[in-house]
Amino acid sequence: MNERKKFYVTTPIYYVNDRPHIGTAYTTIAADVLARYHRAAGYETWFLTGLDEHGQKIAKAAEGISMNPEVFVERMAQPFFDVWKLLEISFDDFIRTTQERHIRVVHRLWEKVKQSGDIYLDRYDGLYCYGCEAYFTEKDLDEEGNCPLGHGKPSRVSMPSYFFRLSRYTKKLLEFYEANPDFIRPKSRANEVISFVREGLKDISISRTNFSWGIPVPGDPEHVIYVWFDALTNYISALGWGEEGEKGSLFEKFWPADYHLVGKDILRFHAVYWPAMLMSAGVEPPKCVYAHGFLTIGKQKMSKSLRNVVDPLNLKWEFGMDETRYYLLRDNVFGLDGDFSHDALIGRINSDLANDLGNLFSRSVTLVKKLLGSRCPPPSDGGEEESKLRAKAMEVIEKAGQLFHDADFSSALETIWQLCASANRYIDGRKPWEKAKKGGNGEAELKTIMYHCLETCRLLACMIAPVMPVKSREMLSVLG
């Protein structure tokens, strides 16, 4: 008996200093679609999401409302869990960096990297951005000396720090990128990362001494492990890397990850620092880091000051969850910057979902009810038109499946809608209502037509299931 193929997909772990918004929902929905598709395709699948609960940003947010960080993260974690469940996010695990299972693995990774000779104590003097928890050099900043990611002016800090010998991995990373051309997607992002690494990598600070909300460095509790060293480890801590027995079996089964889905703003951490850390520890890097672009709102940057931050739950209540999921993945090419527009969302609902899919399904079910007394006709081959429709369905199933596998969601949905259009043309051209009037051969032809309409609807319901799970279930329930 052949062993089932494995598939492991992750989202970034999200900071708990705010509630979920349309940007975090976009990444998480994309990961959910990948997980749902691969489960349906027979893969043994593991889907991880979770929360980044350490770091100075979290400590400051808690301090701002006079709350203990432990209490703050506990309060802020629940909305993420609840929102993802309401959005039908089918995660298999929800990791939190304050969990003991995670802390154990972070310490284990630190010790492994240290044993490789890649951690040393020195002093950090430079720029640090609290908004994105990142170190910068002067050349990284914009013309006004601000963080390139829009978090204002970085602060100059000076403190004792442990460093990771990232400089050792310049050549190894370049060789790895060459041997694994699909490691960073899309290609345009890969080119940016490769150019950055070719300039030569500098060692990076991986501990802090000016705050205490984090994981202590093993053997030196005055130092807190840098939040990104901590956070990146979640991808293997959730699988129990290095754990004994059953706790570690998930790592053996699912690592390396097939996809880390991330925003383009955190690509460097995932495509440079993370594989270097893993190489140092003797662990194989993930197969692919896929960086999507930013979502603007009506062509404007999303920000609290502009009061244009979109709450995904509001979209669920106003437009429907499946409708929102469909629009986000159909209108925005994953990997590129995209834009969210209420008008465009309504347009997709009216055009694609109501006029195309809804019309086909409604007509097919209504005609069977009216002309055949709700009795589903048996399979039959029919003639040339039926053969063309079946061939189109097989073509779309194969092509859309590959596109889903490749995380090309927009093209996958466009391909599926080609079958929807073909089926609508088929029913218009075959005119089953006229066959019903003929009797004799007309009735046999009517049954053939309606069988093909219902079967096409069934196939469409199955194909849209990763993106629109509720609508898919509703359609399949009606079809019986």
Sorted by where each begins, the domain ranges of the chain are 342-479
Mean pLDDT over 301-308 rounds to 68
Asked which of 65-79, 278-292, 349-363, 403-417 is least confident by mean pLDDT, the reply is: 65-79
pLDDT mean over 409-420: 98
Identify the top-confidence range among 3-17, 141-155, 272-286, 326-340: 272-286
The SS3 call for residue 419 is helix
Could you count the other beta carbons within 10 Å of the beta carbon of residue 132? 20
Query: The whole model's pTM is what?
Result: 0.93
First to last CA, the chain: 32
Predicted pLDDT of residue 125: 82
Q: Are 254 and 239 in contact (CB under 8 A)?
A: yes
Work out the pLDDT band at 343, boundaries 50, 70, 90: very high
Q: Which two tokens stand for residue 277?
A: 């850390």
Please give the Cα distance from 435 to 447 (Å, whole number). 9
pLDDT at 150: 65
Residue-wise pLDDT for 221-249, tens only, equals: 999 999 899 999 999 999 999 987 766 68
Q: Which of 277-291, 375-389, 455-469 has the lowest mean pLDDT?
A: 375-389
pLDDT at 57 over 90: no
Tell me the per-residue pLDDT of 418-457, one tens digit each, with 9 for 90 and over: 999 999 999 999 998 888 777 667 788 999 999 999 999 9
- Residue 174: what pLDDT? 98
Q: How far is CA 83 from CA 80, 117, 276, in A?
A: 5, 43, 34
Name the burial class of residue 39, with classes exposed (0-12), middle (13-18) and buried (19+) by CB atoms within 10 angstroms of its CB: middle
Flag whether pLDDT at 285 surpasses 70. Answer: yes
Which of 72-86, 92-106, 341-355 is predicted least confidently?
72-86
342-479 folds as Isoleucyl-tRNA Synthetase; Domain 1 (1.10.730)
pLDDT for the residue 11? 98
**What does the pLDDT read at residue 60?**
87
User: How high is the pLDDT of residue 131?
Assistant: 66
Tell me the pLDDT band of 306, cut-offs 50, 70 and 90: low
pLDDT at 304: 60
Burial of residue 428 (CB within 10 Å: 0-12, 13-18, 19+) is: exposed
Q: What is the mean pLDDT of the chain?
A: 92
pLDDT digits (tens, 9 = 90+) for 193-205: 999 999 999 999 9
In sequence order, the 6+-apart residues with CB closer than 8 A to the CB of 59 are 69, 211, 213
pLDDT > 90: percent of the chain: 74
Contacts of 140 (CB under 8 A, 6+ apart): 127, 148
pLDDT at 480: 85
pLDDT tens figures, 99-149: 999 999 999 999 999 999 999 999 988 777 766 566 677 767 777 777 776
Segment 288-310 mean pLDDT: 81
Amino acid at residue number 7: F
Which H/E stretch holds residue 104?
A: helix 100-115
Beta-carbon count within 10 A of 380 CB: 13
Residue 1 has pLDDT above 60, yes or no: no
Quick: pLDDT tens for 461-475.
999 999 999 999 999
pLDDT band (50, 70, 90) for residue 305: low
Spatial CB neighbours of 330, under 8 Å, sequence gap ≥ 6: 348, 352, 409, 410, 413, 414
Q: Measured between alpha carbons, how far is 390 from 451 in angstroms, rounded to an integer?
A: 11
The pLDDT assigned to 170 comes to 98
Res 135: pLDDT = 67
For residues 230 and 228, give the distance between their C-alpha atoms in angstroms, rounded to a whole number: 5
Contact in structure between 170 and 201 (CB atoms under 8 Å): yes
